[in-house]
Structure 1
Amino acid sequence: MRGNQGEEALAIGKRLRAIRRAQNATLADVSARAGVSISALSKIENAQISASYDILKRACDALGVGIEDIVSATAKSQLSGRKTVTRRGEGEQFRSDQYDYRIHASEISKKAMIPFEMVIRARKVEDFDHWSEHEGEEFVYVLDGAIEIHTEHYAPFRLAAGESAYFDSSMKHLYLAVGEADARVLSISHDPATAERRPVSTYMHPSTRQVPA
């Protein structure tokens, strides 16, 4: 890791370590709760690897914090009557080998819904070495282009611009762009089973890394 990407990994690692230590939790404690190896957690805290969103989500759930508290140092709102606006070009940006993400409403912590604007660049299933899966439900609406959604229980199906799908996100799934142009979608994830007892975030693909501002 070099430049801003390395600086972001360092900042995320420091925030994760600080929150863990503030709770008097050991790496072994978080590892047991999150189902993530002690080695992987240690490497994230020491900025030796760029953490995937899957791993960060598990660690945040294990620590009882919103993922926004890890990926961004800006102050978060947890008050009733909360409001935030994300303008064009704003929002935390992340990238995996298959998708580009822009997180909307990242200023609000412990949200029941996580809205993503995603650009789908993958064209074939073989582009993935890991399918996404996370607790809760997911809504996807195609803004531009067309996508093909693959899941572990249903035959692949396609959506064009203006069309949407809603599905159980604990089912393994992935998105492919159809045609020459990349597709752009709005994806909103919600975890009703955990919304009341712990912060809700969502999975990104494991190869996801933050894009420097």
Structure 2
Amino acid sequence: MQTMNPTKIALLDLAEDILQTKSFANVSFQTLAKGVGIKKGSVYYHFESKEELGEAILDRAMALLKQSLKDIESEPIAKQLHVYTNWFAKHIGAAEKLCPGASFAASWDAVTPSTRKKVEQLYELHKMSLSKIIQRGRNEGAFAVTDKSPESLSTLVFALLQGGLLASRVSQDKEEFAQCKALALQLVKTG
């Protein structure tokens, strides 16, 4: 695996923070250059365009989610579900930030088709991964079997978790995310 240049990582970190706490419209190469301590022109060495930068943020989010899920694939299914639902608070930050994909969704009409595709891939990765966890839990008798398919249930759970991030961001109350997470777990475990 190729290691990334430390300056590129710092640019990604700062751009991601701005995206998740403000908006992608607030991400500028001038702001990034100043924040990292390089010249504006040097940002173009790492990212040819703002679109490329945004897509790199989404690629990194997908890689982190994939790795997190890979790290727990041999764990008991109930623990996998718990780790997945906690992933949002751990890697995004309840009451602090929005998911990178949700941040782009807030200005969907202004997002380029290429970046939209990356957001859709991140969304599908979440739903597919959660559907697999739910199906395995049902097969093992750990989760309730209901009239909802694992796919439709994963959509509900994902929406609850994303909504919990949004609600807790507005209220600045991490408990709001915790309540949404608890309801999501209840839906999977008891139907």
Q: Does the pair score TM above 0.5?
A: no
TM-score grouping bracket, smaller chain normalisation: under 0.3
Structure with greater Cα Rg:
2
Q: Is the helix fraction higher in 1 or 2?
A: 2
Return the TM-score normalized by structure 2.
0.25
Return the TM-score normalized by structure 1.
0.23
Q: Is the strand fraction higher in 1 or 2?
A: 1
